[in-house]
Structure 1
Amino acid sequence: MADPELALCRKDKGRAAELKGRGNACFSRREFEQALGFYSQALRYAPISSDGTGDILVPALYVNRASTMHKLGLLEECLRDCDRAISVSPNYAKAWYRRGMVNASLKNYSSAMHDLEVALSMEVTSSGKSNIEQELKLILLKPQCVNKVGRSSSDCKDAGLAHTDAHKVVLECIATPNKGRGMTSPDDIPPTSLIHVEDPLAAIILKSCRETHCHYCFSEAPADVVFCPLCTIPVYCSRKCQEQAVGGISWNQDTYLESNSNAVDLGILSLTSTRCKATDSKQIAEHRHECGGAHWAAVLPADIVLAGRLMAQYIDSRMLTGKSSAISGPKMV
């Protein structure tokens, strides 16, 4: 557990900067897949300040990864990274420029013009302004009727999709002398109907899948993988899974940016310590028990990790109901 290569999971700005440099070198050699991997690992180690804004490193990494995914044709993933960069640093011109370019690739010309106009208002260099103006002229030659939407739907994966039931199954609790209590339906249940869903008390991901699958929903991780904002342990497929696992991320939509008479809503990322959840919370963030400490989830055997999470969930459940956190058991002498 004391091995720094295995046990420690703290953020490391120096390590993030080193990985960013290696990614830049791969990008300049047009080795985009390798660059994507380095930028993602740099984001894993990059710290975000307590006020949620961070410095230029985090948004720069998001934009660099977005540029790489743009080269690889991963346009929706690119849009999501641009949104994340803007959320962390709303005045980062390169993020608005990159999002405008990918919107143009998606033929979202109205959104592309809006993003590029915002980038132009923020750009401070003459060469940068000239480049953006040239891109705006090219977009003006495109048919404007293709897309009239003023905002892309790039964060649909982060927002999650609403679940709709095609057929609602009604269940009733019954008791019989021979079989005891059970559930039955007064109506016929159509084939393939979802009858019951229950979240597990605790879960872990296999060590062989730790780098390739989401640690919350266990789906295969996309190219724009998301990391815990407080440690380097887990990977998530979306911001929604990240928030549900960490339990302490909120988005403040109270600020906006004026650009050419258009108000742009901006989500400002704010971090709340996962160790300070409200007492009336109904959700216990599973990852908080290993966050910021030792990387025991990757070091210890899987059954030990699962047992530890079960105990932690049990203790939290008792604390949320106002009971003592102590676990009763035989006295040791």
Structure 2
Amino acid sequence: MIDFRYHLVSIVAIFLALAVGIVLGTTLLQEPALKSAEELTAQLAKTKEELRTQVNLLQGREAGNDAFVSELTPKLVAGELNGEHVLLIEAPGSSSANREAQHQVLLQAGAAITGRVTLTDKYLDPANAGLIDGLVNQLKPADMVFPEGAATYDKASTLLAATLMTTDQGQAGTANQATAAVLDGFETGGLLSVDDEPKKRATLAVMFAPEEPFEGKYAAVQAGALASLAGGLDAGGKGTVMTGSGSSAVGPGGALTTVRDDGDMAKRVSTVDTPDMPAGQIVIVYALREQARGGVGQYGIGAGASGPMPALPTSSPSPSNESGS
């Protein structure tokens, strides 16, 4: 708001100065009018400078707060995810800077990162539903049965979750022999890419949503595809947190908005809309911990957030075989 007011005052001052210059070139300008215009211009310049000072002060405070939280982060997250194996999922248009920062915080929390799966625009393009459906039917285990009328993205989410996730702490971090074939098939089809070793089963997942909402006639389908995958990963493991900053959390067509507005999904998948803030990166760790214990919540400062962070537990039990929320 202060930035907006600052720029508005600047624009008004510029146009007023131009107007004064034009008027000065005429013989119709009277002394009182000129004096009034000069006084107003001076006042606007003063207001502009005051607003600039306020902006600098607030930006300095924010930078100081972020530096303070960053310094304390290792202590605030230490041991929170000991024994947990976390899979990272990147959607097209997500922030790699947020993902890299979160990766480090997860390690500080004691988590092992099994790997990263990056979805492509092709995966989210409804025109490729036939390709995805064919791959799912080709790669799924013989005993995997989908509900009658299951949507393409729901089936793909179920298959990917079954190969990438586990609720069994004893299997966490161990290779799933079926995973390689499934991931290879999807990667060959241009639907995703993989880094590190996601074939090793994860217990928890963090999905990084696009920074901007989807637009166009397929926006709801594309946002729904990400929500479906988040829900599938949650069901296949001990929990999933979807995170994204900017309008992905507050605008129509946003992936976080889709989760938060879906009554059933919001009871299973947690969201955090402040991954670009050091405090938000801590909240993601706490949200994962809450998911591992069967809880769920919508956190941050955007529309649909229930609060800034989960309630702090009174103790930190070791990982259990509890399934996700």
Q: Normalized against structure 1, the TM-score is what? A: 0.21
Q: Normalized against structure 2, the TM-score is what? A: 0.21
- Which structure would you say has the larger Rg? 2
